[in-house]
Structure 1
Amino acid sequence: MQMGRTGFIDLEKHFAFYGAYHSNPVNILIHTLFVWPIFFTSLILFYFTPSIYDLPPIGFIPSALNHALVLNFGFVFALMYALFYVLLDKKAGSLAALICMVCWVGASYIAVRLGYSLAWKVVLAAQLICWTGQFLGHGVFEKRAPALLDNLAQAFLMAPFFVLLEVLQTVFGYEPYPGFLATVRAKIDTEIKDWQERKMKKIS
């Protein structure tokens, strides 16, 4: 049973909100494929923001990677997501946090290799492909507008963790705590039913 999780770190609330917009298996698969690449390519572009602090060289890390590790908005962005996920759930959140920071390291290295003039073109192309895929997933399969149209911040924050939890649940049967899936599924079903009723009222 979930204890002491309310408001900003209420995992049930966040997961149910996002899950209500992603109940179709094909749409979930599309998001699983495209959400983390959006996060990763955003970090590539964020690498070119002003530096907050230059890390000193780390002996066992290759010099090219040492040069890439700059504490800038990209680092802050990745760290913000990482801390949020750990607060939501220690186990899966720690894994998500690790992925966030690995993405920051990898994106920083790629950004240095590409340079700004090429990096923004690569990021633009990747983002267009990923966002187009997700909007098609909603329009063709989910038949519901994306969550970001109703709650932009919550949708962006939850998307990477949602798809990771979906994978962990599907492959390993993972639950943050006993009864989580049943509770969230009931909330999702209720929200979808309410949305369908509101939709029918607008049509009538």
Structure 2
Amino acid sequence: MKSLAEQMSIYQRYHRNPKNKATHFVGVPAIVLAVMLALSWVPIGHSGITLADVLVVPLLVYYFRLDGPLALASTIVLGALLALAHGLDANLSQTGAWIAFGVLFVGGWIVQLVGHAFEGRKPALADNLFQVFIAPIFLVAEVFFACGYKPGLREAVEAGHPRHA
């Protein structure tokens, strides 16, 4: 398994332009919310648990294997998006939920593609679909870096090295 620093080094090569990074703080959560909303329509038995609930668990387990503090922060972010998805599902009509999904999903991708126009480079997932799973933790790490946390990881990501302090 590649380290977080190695995966983020790959991802950040596609996200150097500040305008592109900014668009990702809108686009990635919108897309994640849209996917969670759609997956919340799939119940798992009669437990009240949905496919959205089930699928977020392995992603967070993976994040915890990569980095505990970033995974904790990602848990809060993904938990909030999951709660919002369930809230939308519970409070919107079926038509309203489909419209919300469409606006979030298509709108999120439009924002992403606009960002990559600033970058002048295709999205990372065009070369490696797995990068779609790195995007959320990458954004959390960017917030940590902006606040002065995880300087060893930031240096390793910038240097392209697979290890970090």
Q: Equivalent residue for 1:47?
A: 40
Secondary structure (helix, strand or coil) at the match of 2:160 reads helix
The 3-state SS of whatever aligns with 1:179 is helix
The structure with the larger Rg is 1
Q: Tell me, in whole angstroms, the C-alpha distance in 2 between the residues paired with 1:52 and 1:100.
A: 23
Query: 2:56 aligns to what?
Result: 78
Paired positions, count: 161
**Aligned residue number for residue 173 of structure 1:** 148
Whether the aligned pair in 2 keeps the contact of 1:81 and 1:100 (CA below 8 Å) is: no
SS at match of 1:145: coil
In the alignment, is the contact (CA less than 8 A) between 2:30 and 2:107 conserved in 1? Answer: no
Contact 2:73 2:140 in 1 (8 A): no
CA pair 53-100 structure 1, distance change in 2 beyond 3 A? farther
How does the TM-score come out when normalised to structure 1?
0.73
d(CA) in 2 for partners of 1:80, 1:52: 19
- In structure 1, the partner of 2:129 is 152
Instruction: State the Cα deviation string for residues 4-24 of structure 1 (Å, max 9, x = none).
Output: xxx15x111111111111011
Distance (Å, rounded) in 1 between the aligned partners of 2:57 and 2:94 = 23
Q: 1:14 is matched with which residue: 7, 13, 17?
A: 7
TM-score normalised according to structure 2 size: 0.89
Measure the CA separation in 2 of the matches of 1:76 and 1:116.
22
Q: 1:158 to 1:52 in 2, by over 3 A?
A: farther
Identity percentage over the alignment?
A: 27
Residue 49 of structure 1 contacts residue 72 of structure 1 at CA under 8 Å; is this kept in 2?
yes
CA distance in 2, matches of 1:83, 1:36: 19
Structure 1 runs of 4+ off > 3 angstroms? Answer: none
Alignment check: 8 A CA contact 2:37 2:86 kept: yes
Tell me by how many angstroms 1:180 deviates.
2.1
Contact 1:32–1:164 (CA<8 Å) still a contact in 2?
A: no
Matching residue within 79, 99, 111 for 2:89 = 111
Shift of 1:109: 1.9
Tell me how far apart the structure 2 counterparts of residues 122 and 110 of structure 1 sit (CA, whole Å): 8
The CA deviation at 1:53 is 4.6
* 1:90 alignment partner in structure 2: 68
Contact 1:47 1:72 in 2 (8 A): yes
1:145 is displaced (CA, Å) by 0.6
- Structure 1, residues 5-50: CA drift from partner, whole Å, max 9, x if none? xx15x11111111111101111001101221121112111111113
Residue equivalent to 1:4: none
1:162 maps to 138
CA RMSD of aligned residues (A): 1.7
Higher relative contact order at CA 8 Å, sep ≥6: structure 1 or structure 2? 2
